[in-house]
Amino acid sequence: MSTTAFAGDRPRPTIVLVGHGMVGQRFLEALAERGLTATHRVVVLGEEPRPAYDRVRLTSYFSGTTPEELSLTDKEFISTHGIELHIGDPAERIDRETRTVTARSGLTVGYDVLVLATGSFPFVPPVPGRDAEGCFVYRTIEDLLAIEEYATTRARTGAVVGGGLLGLEAAGALKGLGLATHIVEFAPRLMPVQVDDGGGAALLRTIEKMGLTVHTGTATQEIVPGEDGAVRAMRLSDGSELATDMVVFSAGVRPRDRLARDCGLAVGERGGIVVDARCRTVTDPRVFAIGECAQAVDGRVYGLVAPGYEQAETAAAAIAGDEAEFTGGDLSTKLKLLGVDVASFGDAHGTAEGCLDVVYADSRSGVYKKLVVDPDGTLLGGILVGDTEAYGTLRALTGSVPPVSPEQLVLPAGAPVRLGPSALPDEAVICSCHNVTKGAIRRAVAEHSCTSVPEVKKCTRAGTGCGSCVKVLGQLVDAELEAGGIEVDKGLCGCFSQTRQELYEIVLALRITSYQDLLDRYGREGARGGDGCEVCKPAVASVIASLAPAIGASGYVLDDEQAALQDTNDHFLANLQKNGSYSVVPRIPGGEISPEKLIVLGEIARDFGLYTKITGGQRIDMFGARVEQLPLIWARLVDAGFESGHAYGKALRTVKSCVGHTWCRYGVQDSVRMAIDLELRYRGLRSPHKLKAAVSGCARECAEAQSKDFGVIATANGWNLYVGGNGGATPRHADLLAQDLSDAELVRLIDRFLMFYIRTADHLERTSVWLERIPGGLDHVRDVVVHDSLGICAELESLMAAHVSHYRDEWAETLGDPEKLARFVSFVNAPDTPDPVVAFVPERDQMKPDLPLLSIGRRPLEGTTQR
């Protein structure tokens, strides 16, 4: 039975909102901020069976985010403001003469103001077979649930039609579900709207390395069903046929403007409800349209959330009688697609007359950066692929002349010239989703007493949209607090107000052996009794493991609560590889190995079909082990005298060495013996980040000791000790800590250095970064570990001695515990079933992953439950 409410019967004017997506929810919040929910009746008709959720983060569902965690709707907000929310009951008809809206259920609501936020619908090309079983669109949580169910029960290969933003997210979802994945894009490059040819090429190379197959410059002509009516293949415009079990259409969206058309509202030639600068429809002043269903005054339909939010605020202001206009929106975007950082901002394609390009490209690492500048030096826009570290600053500088040259702005991460948020003017927009400037953020700290990022978020709404500005927001908040003499909250995460160093001291002083105990006693209010987060759990697990002997805890990472805190690598005591197999890396101290042990490694690699590689760290790595094979392999390795090389953990990896004076005519000390002694001493030492070391037998430095976390170089009088070195993407030359040391002095200083680093470093902070960050730098570290300026060296040495005396090989421990061995299966309810997605093909007399089947999240067999 329908109900009708008319204007004369209502004590308060009624605002009806049609559509409850991200923009609709923001409109409700804007009404509440202006007090309109107290003076008006607000009725919402939503089509989906759930309230508004974060569609920008939709793909995170496949990495474990629940629909509840994606929700943007607070039940308390709805009830507090008396909002009448009808979900799963979309509007079907608008009668502008009687000013009523009728929903599918028959509910009829009268309105004084009507706001249309109906969003958009996925465009499905009109190709034959598009309705075949196994064809999907990628738009809602319900779409994702259907895709997941079909992919895990009926498909091995999937194809995505569309290589734009949503298309790449859909491809990432299929890949994560274990499907061999194809991307078909009509344009000659991926993401044609956001990036240029150079950016598209960098993105293509990186995505293809991940095992996805990309078809650009071709269109889908037909979906070919099999005899059972389900998708069997896709026929392309180039004449080829692509075998696939399912198809996901992500070829763009169209404005949902049917309701507007049916009731006589004006729509644009290509769709979209035509509105003025106040987001009021040009046909009817009582009707507004916002978000992806609206055509703005500049003739554009915006498909991004930031302009939608601005339209929502404009419409709420207009209803409240305030002055506000929407004349155009920011099209800047920053996303991580298939693990690749991609961003564009401003005039990314250089449409301004006379503009110039400044380009940096590194095809080897998949990095591409282009800035578009005016001849007078004004930054007009840009494209970033593979390295978006500077996005927040660059976007905020758009429209101004940066304080450094454009050439310096495109230097790779880690280069000497870095331009931070402090260089931005106060009028620079930091959060484009909510149009929040740097000045507004500074005022939130200085005038509204906000002392943390969450408080500034609540005050200004900055960082609550797409989230791409959060890093810059944090830097600005910290800088403003420090400028005002206010102590900055440098807590480890949202669960702990203490830093990692402070938690280390608490664990050590109080002998706390349980993460949950630490959280319940010292966590922030609201975090106690909870489950913690992905930042603090591994950080605390590392601290407890580092201090295990001293505090009476188990140093074994798979014991009891410790097991639940570990990531995938530590969970299986092996490194997960890109095709779902694992690596086996036994320790070979100093790189020295007997012929008998070499034979054992060869026999194991042969018997289990493993790929073998001699690495730069003087180890022999074996790749391609299935999870259920790991105990079998390690049983043979342990029997032969090998132990874990900890390639999977934040711990000591290797101590590399040259052959030293035993063989080399230049050597002045026995570098092999020293490397072996050091590796055996520090093996298994859990630390904030991985540790690498080396010992060179003379100043010719063949072991490259000065690029390691700690490195030793022989002299005629003993050993020189270097610390804080780092290779990799951001190399750093190690600093000389002490020279001409005896064996005993060298070991004592390394003991102190490592334990001081473990005690004071931040989570996931390499020694190179720590040495530059810690107040006083190298001079302070030298004062502490060499001259004992803090009087803690005896304690540091004692902690290291406890580690050395209590060391146990993790794999030997695991093999002796049937309960621990039970975890090494692909499917918990089919333990004898190998993972069918892990496949290999021959290459150079060995094997390599079968690239079309590459996946990170793997698809279990029907009827099985995967670990």
Q: What is the DSSP letter of 82?
A: T
Of 161-165, 243-247, 821-825, the least confident = 821-825
Residue 528 predicted with pLDDT over 80: yes
More confident residue, 209 or 231: 231
**Mean per-residue pLDDT for 213-229?**
93
What is the C-alpha separation between 746 and 754, in angstroms, rounded? 12
- Please answer whether residues 333 and 194 qualify as being in contact, where contact means their C-beta atoms are separated by less than 8 angstroms: yes
- Considering only CA atoms, which of 610, 501, 516 is closest in space to residue 562? 516
What does DSSP say about strands 367-373 and 356-362: parallel, antiparallel, or unpaired?
A: antiparallel
Task: Round the average pLDDT of the chain to a whole number and report it.
Answer: 87
What is the C-alpha separation between 372 and 489, in angstroms, rounded? 37
Query: What is the pTM for the complete model shown?
Result: 0.58
Indicate which CATH number applies to the domain containing 24.
Answer: 3.50.50.60
The residue out of 419, 438, 470 marking a domain boundary is: 419
Give residue 593's region: left, alpha or beta (phi > 0; psi -120 to 50). beta
Write the single-letter amino acid at 699: A
Tokens of 692: 């690498």
What is the C-alpha separation between 861 and 867, in angstroms, rounded? 12
Tokens of 680: 């055996």
- Considering only CA atoms, which of 180, 120, 190, 131 is closest in space to residue 156? 180
355 and 220 inside one domain = no
Torsion angle of alpha carbons 409, 411, 415, 417, nearest 10°? -20
SS3 202: helix
What is the C-alpha separation between 44 and 777, in angstroms, rounded? 59
pLDDT at 864: 46
pLDDT at 853: 37
- Please answer whether residues 355 and 372 qualify as being in contact, where contact means their C-beta atoms are separated by less than 8 angstroms: yes
- Please answer whether residues 110 and 14 qualify as being in contact, where contact means their C-beta atoms are separated by less than 8 angstroms: yes
116 CB contacts (<8 Å, ≥6 apart)?
18, 19, 259, 260, 273, 287, 288, 289, 290, 293, 294
- Tokens 């960082």 sit at which residue? 463
What is the C-alpha separation between 803 and 157, in angstroms, rounded? 49
Instruction: Give the residue numbers spanning the domain of 773.
Output: 652-808
372 and 407 inside one domain = yes
Indicate which CATH number applies to the domain containing 603.
Answer: 3.30.70
Q: What is the DSSP letter of 230?
A: B
Own/partner pairs, 308-311, CB within 8 angstroms, 24+ separation: 308/22, 308/23, 308/26, 309/22, 309/23, 309/26, 309/433, 309/434, 309/465, 310/434, 310/435, 311/23, 311/279
Q: What is the DSSP letter of 419?
A: -
Indicate which CATH number applies to the domain containing 782.
Answer: 3.30.413.10
798 and 684 inside one domain = yes
Of 185-199, 716-730, 838-852, the least confident = 838-852
Distances (CA, A) of 300 to 58, 275, 291, 307, 308: 25, 11, 11, 11, 12
Is 326 inside any structural domain? no
Residue 749 predicted with pLDDT over 80: yes
pLDDT band at 63 (very low <50, low <70, confident <90, very high): confident
Domain count, the chain: 7
pLDDT at 865: 47
268 and 229 inside one domain = no
480 and 596 inside one domain = no
Cα atoms in the Cβ-side hemisphere of radius 13 Å centred on 448: 17
pLDDT band at 492 (very low <50, low <70, confident <90, very high): confident
Strands, E assignment, 108-230? 108-110, 113-116, 120-122, 135-137, 157-161, 180-185, 213-216, 220-225
**Helix pair 743-760, 777-785: axis angle to 10 deg:** 120
pLDDT digits (tens, 9 = 90+) for 286-344: 999 999 999 999 899 988 888 999 999 999 999 999 988 998 877 777 776 676 788 88
Q: How buried is residue 508: exposed, middle or buried, by Cβ count under 10 Å (0-12/13-18/19+)?
A: middle
Which phi and psi (to 5°) does residue 360 adopt? -125, 130
pLDDT digits (tens, 9 = 90+) for 121-145: 999 999 999 999 999 999 999 999 9
SS3 732: strand
The residue out of 404, 419, 434 marking a domain boundary is: 419
Q: What is the DSSP letter of 487?
A: P
pLDDT at 8: 43
pLDDT digits (tens, 9 = 90+) for 535-594: 888 889 889 988 988 888 877 777 766 666 666 677 778 887 767 788 899 999 988 899
What is the C-alpha separation between 553 and 679, in angstroms, rounded? 23
More confident residue, 487 or 721: 721
Is 127 inside any structural domain? no
The residue out of 265, 287, 320 marking a domain boundary is: 320
671 and 778 inside one domain = yes
- Please answer whether residues 4 and 110 qualify as being in contact, where contact means their C-beta atoms are separated by less than 8 angstroms: yes
Which phi and psi (to 5°) does residue 715 adopt? -125, 170
432 and 404 inside one domain = no
For the CA atoms of the chain, what is the radius of gyration?
A: 30
Tokens of 218: 């071709």
Of 72-76, 636-640, 756-760, the least confident = 72-76
Distances (CA, A) of 866 to 630, 688, 783, 825, 827: 17, 30, 52, 8, 4
414 and 424 inside one domain = no
147 and 222 inside one domain = yes
Is 354 inside any structural domain? yes
What is the C-alpha separation between 343 and 340, in angstroms, rounded? 10
pLDDT at 418: 53
What is the C-alpha separation between 836 and 859, in angstroms, rounded? 9
Is 126 inside any structural domain? no
126 CB contacts (<8 Å, ≥6 apart)?
none
Is 1 inside any structural domain? no
Residue 3 predicted with pLDDT over 70: no
Tokens of 472: 């810059």
94 and 208 inside one domain = no
The CA-CA-CA angle for residues 496, 767, 387, to 5°, reads 80
Is 666 inside any structural domain? yes
What is the C-alpha separation between 651 and 660, in angstroms, rounded? 26
% pLDDT > 70, the chain: 92
Tokens of 204: 């293509």
115 and 144 inside one domain = no
Is 327 inside any structural domain? no
**Helix pair 515-522, 500-510: axis angle to 10 deg:** 110
SS3 100: strand
What is the C-alpha separation between 756 and 533, in angstroms, rounded? 26
pLDDT at 729: 60
Is 325 inside any structural domain? no
pLDDT digits (tens, 9 = 90+) for 421-468: 777 778 878 887 777 888 899 898 888 888 877 788 889 888 777 666
92 and 12 inside one domain = yes
Q: What is the DSSP letter of 746?
A: H
The CA-CA-CA angle for residues 83, 89, 94, to 5°, reads 85
340 beta partners: 337
